[in-house]
A and B are shown apart, each in its own frame.
Chain A
Amino acid sequence: MNDLRFALRQLRKSPGFTFLALLTLAVGIGMNTAIFSLIQDLFLRGLPFSEPERVVRIYGESKERDLKQMPSSVPKFWHYRDGQTVFSSIAADWGNGFIMTGSGEPIQLLGGNVTANYFELLGIHPILGRNFLPEEESKGDVVMVTENFWRKRFASDPTILGHNITLNGVPTTIIGVLPNLPISWFGRDSEIFVNKPFEPSGITKDRLMRGVSFMRVTARLKPGVSVSQAQAAMPALLQSYKEQHPETADNTWSPYLVSAAEDVTGDLRPAFLTLLAAVSAVLLIACSNVANLLLVRFTGRKREIALRMALGAERRGIVRLFVFESTLVSVIAGMIGLGLALWTVSVVPKLAGQNIPLESGVKLQLPVLIFTLGLSLITGLLMGLYPAWQSSRADLVDGLKEGGRGTSGSRGQHRFRRGLVAGQVGLSVVLLAGAGMLVSSFVRLSRQEPGFRSERVWAGGIGLPPAQYPDPATRGRFAERLQTELQTAPGVEAAAIADAVPLSGNSSRSPYARADGNPVPVNQRQLGLTRSVSPGYFRTLGISLLSGRDFTEQDKVDSRLVVILSNSTAKKLFPNENPIGHQILFGTDNGNGLPAEVIGVVGDVRSQQLSKANDVEFYRPWPQRSAPFLNVVVRSATKPEATAGIVRAALNKIDNGLPILQPSTLDAIVTQSLGQERLTMTLLGVFAGIALLLAVVGIYGAVAYTVEQRTGEIGVRMALGAQTHDVLNLVVRQGMNPVILGLIFGLAGTFAVGRLLAAQLYQISPYDPLLLGATAIVLAVAALLACLIPARRATLVDPIQALRSE
């Protein structure tokens, strides 16, 4: 207690030191806490399921056809469910949209269709009512809603159970209220869950049984069964599926298991590892800055030390006293850092957009608190120990020996200080280079020509309730009427319908093969990205028609099947031929797919990721391949934001019971598609900026301290005729020495971590000489400035004063 009071008094006595040390460490600890808190949320906490480590997802893959994460078909799921022995239960679900009518404006709701055992498998229990019953799986018109839905739309009415709501035109009974669900697993805004998982609308029974794959399969491992044990049981299951269902297209994809946690955030891991490494570096820099300050501070208290020793203090006690002081600083800084972290964490979800499944709302979690406390203590110990040890050395002989003019402190201390500066610079180079790479990669990505023009294009979704739009003919008529209405609306340059918008994350793929020659069996065919679009889609999005023709109103449901190819597709499938007029087989109908005639070739579009060109993309006429959900794209003469009203008005003329879902602009969708890259880049950029700032402060501090120590020497030199530039030279050279060393270490380090970053980079090598050079120059210039300020002060030393103050 006595020590605490003494340490506090010491800190209060030098507010400058205390402020700088607290600020530096608070930033360092705060950033680490923030990243740890995100990591805790995304990776460590685990899903709020019962025994989440036993929950796995089952996907299919085909390495030779570059297929990954393939969902399951209905017959495959049934086969797995009935034949497996390693899971205590197995369930399936797929995302769906619902239009709720009956209470004023129709409302579009998100959710899914699930097998009856789905929530039970996960261990999610309704807070009100009950889970689905097995006998309801394919019969009952029943629905479970989330707590959010209950609160928002039913004002938490306790009598909600048994209520009927109309979903997609069907009266449905609410049987249970689910607790709010983790968005990492269920997606954002999921509110409605129904069963009937085996009857997706818009897919014929025939196609369903030929292996259309759309179900996510989730399973719970039997107690004591490991993921790899379960995995080992899968090939036999696939083999029997293949034997019993030779007609299915999906019977050649090998099944594989992924733990629930891996499935949800596995792809985010590299980015967060990078960020973790970055904040650790920031903390190290902060620590070394403060260690440097402490060294100066403790060394300056030689008299106090001598006195304490004279009074019988042991060296251990003095070290303890100093370490106590440094730990006190770091713990106070940790508390400030915690506040900083809470703020940062509240900002990140906004930065990340839809791409990172972070729950909004900041909660302070115990593990984060423990992390911060632990980090603070370690930090305090780490940075206090050496300075305390050094300055408690009773070097009486050294101290009394007249060493002439010059530097003070032992050679060891000098080396330590220079080492700290070199280390800081090295770490900053790595961070700065990393941030530079991500920034320039991001700039390249945002400049990447996507193959379509997004400006002034509005996009929104419309769900077509199967009750009113049961078949391709009704859906085709709807699309045609809507398009006609839109095209004649004032301010509209072009309008079209598509099943999915580029870069929105939605897409579908069909098995395909050239019809001529000997097409391989359906289950060995490649899957090709396929988009259903109305006439005018290419014009609306500014995609150029390279040859042939666009779709027209004449390409109806029952007319000749046609297809338009992307340029790459044409080159890949018809390398030395004119593709127009050739036939391509699509889908699984008849067990061999249906032939469609190539009528045109359009420019390539990066519809999946801006960073990746699609090797294959097909366009089919909307009426010939429609779905119960469509997207409207409208190019307007002016701002696209006003388009929503135009679309609403047009829609009302046809069916005023249809809400517009997720109205947005194509620009926003493109921007959104880079959300994760933007987050990583922004955070790393901020960290690198902080690192640079801290390093500059560190260099400045070290040089300023040296100058202060060497005032006398500088005075002598000036008396001997040193010119201003001689003094500048002396100080800057000494200051830049460890900086140069650090630059070399840093560049070497950047080479070493380049591999970690390479996968996150677009069109830029982690060894890009220009970028590395620029990084080195930025740092060198910043360091030079940091040296110049104290160097400038050194030139103002008055030699008489310096010589006088012996």
Chain B
Amino acid sequence: MGTNVFDSTNQQSEISNSIMNNGSDPLIRLNSVTKVFLTDEVETHALSGIHLDIRPGEYVSIAGPSGCGKTTLLSILGLLDTPSDGSYSLKGHEVANLSFADRARIRNREIGFIFQSFNLIGDLSVFENVELPLTYRGMAASERKSFVTGALERVGMAHRAKHLPSQLSGGQQQRVAVARALAGRPAILLADEPTGNLDSRNGEAVMQLLKELHQNGATICMVTHDERFAQHADRTVHLFDGRVVEDRIAA
């Protein structure tokens, strides 16, 4: 595939349409999504008219300068936040009309989050942290155990299952966070600067993990500043000031 540079939203939507027409149905479709924050009478346009289609199995990296709206975009994709305007359909379903409980359920079943700052729960052991989303799913204990063990083995942290997060290094904590995100076998993995708090060696290890996940069929959206890490993805979306300024699909 070649390289497409779009500087107009119209063109972008045409292309998006053509992608959809040509290939499989998109897993995620953002249409003209806008997010406006109102603080102290000041409107911040975090996102303006975003069109974005992500097909199943894609590995998308999102890049752009600080404050350009990357986290906001990921929050909307992860159903943590709602667009001010525009529409978002997930697996062909419009999410705008979902109830609070439905959104929580989808977050729980379809989406895995990896945060920049790990966000492990300090009072829970490694095992319990990974188990948490499965508990909310109402999964039986025995099944949970095999899921959790599987996920921990995958990130190479099974031997630390009983430890508390504070007893782990930063890289280890992030691997646990990855395990937690993938334990429930979500359709989409959302990662907001997963290597931001890690040194390059640990960062590389986490990237390797994501790559393996992708190779096994996971759809991944990852925010990263780091050019080297962005290269792991097969598509890079560049944001600037709340707009998509470049959407490049790697060869």
Residues of A near any B CB (own CB < 8 A): 401-407, 712-713, 716-724, 726, 799-800, 803-804, 806
Bound Cα distance A705, B227 (Å):
43
Report the stretch among B18-26, B115-123, B150-158 that lies at the interface. Answer: B115-123
Q: How far is the CB of B91 from chain A (nearest CB, A)?
A: 16
Bound Cα distance A401, B165 (Å):
11
Q: How far is the CB of A801 from chain B (nearest CB, A)?
A: 10
Which residue in A404, A712, A721, A724 is a CB contact (below 8 Å) of B165?
A: A404
Most buried by B among A716, A719, A722: A719
Number of A-B contacts (CB under 8 A): 75
Interface size class of B (residues with CB under 8 A): 20 to 34
- Which residues of B have CB within 8 Å of A407? 122-123
Q: How far is the CB of B39 from chain A (nearest CB, A)?
A: 12
CB of A723 within 8 A of CB of B170, answer no
CB of A720 within 8 A of CB of B165, answer no
Query: Taking the complex as formed, is B109 at the interface, i.e. its CB lies under 8 A from any CB of chain A?
Result: yes
Sample 17 A-B pairs with CB under 8 A, ordered by A number. A402-B166, A404-B166, A405-B119, A405-B121, A406-B121, A406-B122, A406-B124, A712-B119, A716-B121, A718-B104, A719-B80, A719-B107, A720-B113, A721-B106, A722-B108, A724-B104, A800-B81
Report the stretch among B131-139, B207-215, B233-241, B243-251 that lies at the interface. Answer: B131-139
Bound Cα distance A718, B81 (Å):
12
CB of A799 within 8 A of CB of B80, answer yes
- Which residues of A have CB within 8 Å of B175? none
Bound Cα distance A406, B125 (Å):
12
Bound Cα distance A405, B173 (Å):
11
CB of B122 within 8 A of CB of A403, answer yes
- Which residues of A have CB within 8 Å of B101? 723-724
CB of B115 within 8 A of CB of A402, answer no
- Which residues of A have CB within 8 Å of B165? 403-404
Residues of B near any A CB (own CB < 8 A): 71, 75, 78, 80-81, 100-101, 104-109, 113, 115, 117-124, 132-133, 136-137, 165-166, 170, 173, 180
CB of A724 within 8 A of CB of B122, answer no
CB of A403 within 8 A of CB of B166, answer yes
Q: How far is the CB of A425 from chain B (nearest CB, A)?
A: 23
Bound Cα distance A803, B81 (Å):
12
- Which residues of B have CB within 8 Å of A723? 101, 104-105, 136
- Which residues of A have CB within 8 Å of B118? 404
CB of B119 within 8 A of CB of A803, answer yes
- Which residues of A have CB within 8 Å of B108? 720-722
CB of B136 within 8 A of CB of A722, answer yes
Q: How far is the CB of A42 from chain B (nearest CB, A)?
A: 53
Which residue in B71, B75, B180 is a CB contact (below 8 Å) of A720?
A: B180
- Which residues of A have CB within 8 Å of B109? 721
- Which residues of A have CB within 8 Å of B173? 404
Which residue in A403, A720, A806 is a CB contact (below 8 Å) of B132?
A: A720
Residue of A nearest to B170 (CB): A402
Bound Cα distance A252, B81 (Å):
94
Q: How far is the CB of A43 from chain B (nearest CB, A)?
A: 52
Q: How far is the CB of A738 from chain B (nearest CB, A)?
A: 16
Bound Cα distance A616, B175 (Å):
88
Further contacts, 13 of them, CB under 8 A, given A717-B136, A804-B71: A402-B166, A404-B120, A404-B173, A405-B120, A712-B119, A713-B123, A716-B119, A720-B107, A720-B180, A721-B133, A723-B136, A724-B104, A806-B117
- Which residues of A have CB within 8 Å of B81? 800
Bound Cα distance A712, B173 (Å):
17
Which residue in A406, A720, A803 is a CB contact (below 8 Å) of B136?
A: A720
CB of B80 within 8 A of CB of A713, answer no
CB of A406 within 8 A of CB of B123, answer yes
Most buried by A among B78, B104, B165, B180: B104
Q: How far is the CB of A36 from chain B (nearest CB, A)?
A: 44
Q: How far is the CB of A419 from chain B (nearest CB, A)?
A: 18
Q: How far is the CB of A720 from chain B (nearest CB, A)?
A: 4
Q: How far is the CB of B121 from chain A (nearest CB, A)?
A: 5
Residue of A nearest to B124 (CB): A406
Known: A403-B165, A404-B166. A726 touches B136 (CB 8 A): yes
CB of B80 within 8 A of CB of A800, answer yes
- Which residues of B have CB within 8 Å of A401? 166
Which residue in A713, A716, A722, A803 is a CB contact (below 8 Å) of B104?
A: A722
